[in-house]
Structure 1
Amino acid sequence: MEVGDVIVYEGSNFFRQRLTLATLSGKTVKIKNIRIKGEEPGLNEYEANFIRLLDRLCNGSHIEVNETGTSVLYKPGVLMGGRIEHTCSNKRGIGYYLEPVFMLAPFCKIPINITLTGVTNNKLDPSVDMIRSSLLPVLKNFIVIDEGLSFKMIRRGLPPLGDGVVNFTCPVRRTLKSFQWVESGKIKRIRGVAYSSRVAPVVSNRMLDAAKKVFSKYLPDVYFFVDNAKGKSPGFGLCAVAETNKGTFLSAESMSSSPKEDKDIKLPEEVGEEAAWRLLEEICRGGCVDSTCQPLILLYMALTAKDVSKIVLGPLTPYSMHFLRCLRDFFKVTFKIDEHLDNSLKISDDDEEDLKLGSKKLLLTCVGTGYTNISKGQV
């Protein structure tokens, strides 16, 4: 709902995407009635931490939070970027903060060089490994130049104590070009990493052996790296990535329960198999990007030059559906969504069931807003 020059929302859902799009569009947003009926009303610690990160990325922001924390008024400033060091809340993963940073980084005034400290892998948010394998290739396609673009995990940190360190640098762009991305290609190889912290090194080998056992039924080119870290908290997990011959990356992950979670302890074999089946599910969903990348690619489509952009995606996640609504609120952009019919596969109805091509795909089309980074003097 828009009241005057202020866009008003209620509730705590989709908190990050509302503040991120407000920062890009320059529009003031007010979020009220945040958990007013909950046992702990108001902002959570990690949400307040995210507001502090946005404040450090921008110059001249105006933020008002009422005494109970149930109402936030955010008037964005100018995206500056530069060198930033930020300690994230251990209640959420670093991926919770990196996803909005990936959306904002190309439109800063100064190329961003940000170091985040916290939990690199957890069950709630995309892990650092998934972001490196899926979001980073998408960002490369839009940035075009590789100079100044890097993503490094300096130290791995698992919940609850975290202490992981990640560094991300990104050049700035003045405008984005429209694109047509309608071919996802066929899976040609699977890569991944089996990681562990403060457990026996053999645990990583047990995970990757279980995952390979599943993948070997479908593809011969499967290889996993092993990362035995010495973090503060014990745990283990596996991240698997499928790459197609058209440059599409699909990722999935599974990990053990943290010491503070009151859940059944998973064996390494169970974690490896779960990660493998999650990746196969992601492959079944299909599309030119995976579920994690959907909001990022939709944002870039909306901000491209005033021309038509198209992309083929698998079924939209609930988060992506709401992201489309927020894009309409902040940028007045609407998408045309059609079922994608792949004419390159000339098959009869009888053969279609046998091929098992996965879930139905969607073709999303929009006309970009011609968004310009006014802080950037030249391309």
Structure 2
Amino acid sequence: GSREVPEALGQPRLPAAAGVGDADLHPHHHQGHPRRRGGPPPARDVPPPPPRQGLGPARHRRQRHRDEGRVQARGGPRREGPGARLRGAPRDRLLHRAAHSARALRRSPLSIRLKGITNDTKDPSVDTFRMVTLHMLKHFGVPLEGLELKIENRGAPPRGGGEVLLRVPNINSTLKAVNWIDEGMVKRIRGVTFSTNVSPQIENRILYAARGLFNKFIPDVHIFTDHRAGLSGGLSAGYGVSVVAETTTGCLISADATVSYPNVDEMSEQSKKPELMSPEDLGEQVASMLLEEVAQGGVVDSTHQGLLFMLCALCPPDVSKVRVGQLTPHAIESLRNIKEFLDVKFIIKPDPNSNTVTLKCVGAGVKNLARKIS
């Protein structure tokens, strides 16, 4: 569906092992560049959207189109817009291109500044990305030193106003194949509640409701609070929570939820004000969601299945073996995209005893040209 389009557009830019050179991984050169001999014609990026009225002279509009989506090594590009989403599929595509593909396999660090919505109900939040997604890389041999996602401003729907800064250092190592099938036992639960432009007491109500359910199973539960108001709270009011279960084998299982207030200016006088989920119900809901994710089994939660498969496909030509819970529609579509664009096929073996699925593949062998050759 439409949710898979960003992932499908980003994957053709990931080079395979055969014929990979410095020009292939450079952001402004592709294999078969007109100034180079041989190779297929360069893959074209999606054309920029037509200019909107009110943007000023034509020269300014052309400059804006040239600058949109440009990834630079220094100075950091911006992705912004009123109510723009900076999570979910855009988030995964940035990680593919910045942390595991050509963007991270460069000889200089990368800095990206994103503006828009940071927490909503459609995609994993920036808290999950910071606490779970980035930490997945260490299982594939990527050092976490210098890898950072800084939440400068939070932005709830519908108007957003959030801002985050993603820094990816120069990575001198290559991805390594994994044998990651043991999720272990949950030893602690961590999390963070947030509130933007509402009473900070809402966070305590979420926290107590979630802990009330978690403490029935495990005593080591700690959830931080993050209250934002004014500029750091964005342009809309809302609240939410992200929780993570850490296991004895280093697996991180996550769940999050968000409640946002509607835009009063866009509501008509006749329209009914929608009922919002109470903080107590939200805390209990996200706690139940995390317990369900843990009960499904697997080394990652359902949100990160597609990213896990992509990392396995980008590994050197060695066998990777992982175990996950029930495959989600997004994960199934990711497997199809990986097969089509990277020519990597997974062997899928369900386990009826644990209701989990074991997957094996041989990596495409993407090379790290930032690595020094002795």
Q: Deviations over 1:175-221 (max 9, x none)?
A: 32111111111001111111111111111111111111111111111
Partner residue, 1:157: 155
Partner residue, 1:220: 219
- Offset of 1:174 from its aligned partner? 6.0
CA distance 1:79–1:64, shift in 2 (3 Å): closer
Whether 1:362 and 2:357 are equivalent positions in the alignment is yes
Q: Deviations over 1:225-277 (max 9, x none)?
A: 11111113111111111110111111111121331497421111111111111
Whether 1:86 and 2:88 are equivalent positions in the alignment is no
Letter of the aligned partner of 1:201 in structure 2?
A: P
Partner residue, 1:294: 305
Partner residue, 1:339: 350
SS of the residue corresponding to residue 334 of structure 1 reads: coil
CA distance 1:361–1:83, shift in 2 (3 Å): farther
Q: Distance in 2 between matches of 1:165 and 1:79?
A: 17
1:161–1:233 contact (8 Å) kept in structure 2: yes
Q: Distance in 1 between matches of 2:336 and 2:140?
A: 23
Letter of the aligned partner of 1:367 in structure 2?
A: V
1:285–1:315 contact (8 Å) kept in structure 2: yes
State the superposition RMSD in angstroms.
2.7
Partner residue, 1:131: 129
SS of the residue corresponding to residue 45 of structure 2 reads: strand
Partner residue, 2:56: none
Residue in structure 2 matching 1:22, options 12, 16, 39: 12
- Offset of 1:92 from its aligned partner? 4.7
Q: Distance in 1 between matches of 2:237 and 2:326?
A: 35
Whether 1:239 and 2:242 are equivalent positions in the alignment is yes
Residue in structure 2 matching 1:266, options 277, 280, 294: 277
Whether 1:256 and 2:259 are equivalent positions in the alignment is yes
Q: Distance in 1 between matches of 2:238 and 2:3?
A: 29
SS of the residue corresponding to residue 91 of structure 2 reads: helix
1:58–1:81 contact (8 Å) kept in structure 2: no
Letter of the aligned partner of 1:221 in structure 2?
A: D
Equivalences for residues 1-379 of structure 1 within 5 A: 12-25=2-15, 58-59=27-28, 62-63=44-45, 65=47, 81-96=73-88, 97-106=90-99, 107-108=102-103, 109=106, 110-171=108-169, 172-173=171-172, 175-230=174-229, 231=233, 232-260=235-263, 263-340=274-351, 360-374=355-369, 376=370, 378=372
Higher relative contact order (CA 8 A, sep 6+): 2
SS of the residue corresponding to residue 285 of structure 2 reads: helix
More strand by share: 1
2:149–2:167 contact (8 Å) kept in structure 1: yes
CA distance 1:23–1:85, shift in 2 (3 Å): same
1:335–1:365 contact (8 Å) kept in structure 2: yes
Partner residue, 2:23: none
- Offset of 1:156 from its aligned partner? 1.4
Stretches of structure 2 that go unaligned for 5 or more consecutive residues are 17-25, 30-42, 52-68, 268-272
Stretches of structure 1 that go unaligned for 5 or more consecutive residues are 1-10, 27-56, 70-76, 343-358
Q: Distance in 2 between matches of 1:235 and 1:217?
A: 28
Q: Distance in 1 between matches of 2:260 and 2:128?
A: 18
2:237–2:260 contact (8 Å) kept in structure 1: no
